[in-house]
Structure 1
Amino acid sequence: MDHPPPPHGGPPPDGFDGGPPPGGVPGGPNDNTTVPPELRLLGAGSYLVFTLLSLTANFLLLTVFIKVIHFLCLLKYSILGS
């Protein structure tokens, strides 16, 4: 999507012409980072904890789903008599 030209007719300010800002992107791949390593480790740790919690929740939901299906099958056989 193209940006409209600036009202003063001059070139757009740095960072708005489709490229990165002149000082680099904070935390970007060009080693111009402003994020301390402790915060990076904290972010990675919280992502790992979130992933493990999500996997645990999915496993528990799958277990409950299987138990419900099993219960419905037992109920069906008890009502119909096999």
Structure 2
Amino acid sequence: MKMLFGVKLGLAIAALSVGVTSASVYYFYSTTSQLIMHQMTGRLKDIGHLGTFLFDPEVRESIVRLKAAVDRDSQVSVTDIQRLKL
């Protein structure tokens, strides 16, 4: 079955336009996503920094001690791992 040159040309142009459109949409989505994540990260850092001024020095020291205690108590020893039944 033979296809006319005009039909082949139309299909080629349609395929090319779909490919270019798909690539453009992907690029736009990727760029926008990275930009939004970067801006959200910056705003959350700003909020966290400004939020620290709401705490008294005593509360800040308590938070530091609590964090140290959690870090210290959350570590698992080798004997604890060996006691686990597989």
Shorter-chain TM range is: 0.5 to 0.7
Mind listing any 5+ residue stretches in structure 2 that lack a counterpart?
A: 51-86
CA shift at 1:37, angstroms?
A: 1.1
Aligned to 1:62: 30
The CA distance in 1 between the partners of 2:25 and 2:41, in whole Å, is 24
State the percentage of identical aligned residues.
14
- Whose radius of gyration is greater, 1 or 2? 2
CA shift at 1:81, angstroms?
A: 1.2
- Among 30, 37, 47, the alignment partner of 2:15 is 47
Q: Give per-residue Cα distances to partners, 1:19-60, cap 9 Å, x unaligned.
A: xxxxxxx3xxxxxx2x20111011011100110011001100
TM-score by length of 1: 0.56
Mind listing any 5+ residue stretches in structure 1 that lack a counterpart?
A: 1-25, 27-32
Deviating runs (4+, > 6 A) in structure 1?
Answer: none
